[in-house]
Amino acid sequence: MKITKIFFHLINLIFVIFYLYPGSILGFLFYGNLNKQPQVTPDFYFSSNHVYAFTILTLFGLISHINKKIIIIYFIFISIFLEIAHIVIPNRSFQFEDLFGNILGVLISILILKIYKYLEKK
């Protein structure tokens, strides 16, 4: 198995654990507070943290997997599922801004890869 695929699966596992944990692991690591979420940049109509996270995760997935259609379906599914799961996870809440950020991160990654492939052909 290629190192990029192993790295992707490791990041994906850590990502899911952080996302489903009932509190903020990063908030605990940075601030000593499970209820405080670190904020990289201000939010707009979507959560910027979620955009960054899903962009990075999706890029690693797209680079490491040959079957792009399957992995894109996976990322769209997981971006929706993980946010809906916050409805039942204690100390977490479903937010449309987070859901939009998740999906936007997936779409940005797809766009980045399409632009890269287009420029590579020229």
Q: Where are the domains of the chain?
A: 3-121
DSSP code at position 23: S
| Span 38-84, pLDDT tens digits | 666 776 778 888 999 999 999 999 988 888 889 999 999 999 999 99
Cα(112)–Cα(75) distance, integer angstroms: 15
| Span 2-46, pLDDT tens digits | 888 888 999 999 989 988 888 777 766 777 776 777 666 776 778
Question: Which position has the token pair 């959560």?
Answer: 47
pTM, to two decimals: 0.85
The torsion angle over the Cα atoms of residues 7, 9, 15 and 18, rounded to 10 degrees, is: -110
**DSSP codes, 31-96:** HS-TTPPP-SS--SSS-HHHHHHHHHHHHHHHHH-S-HHHHHHHHHHHHHHHHHHTTTSTT----H
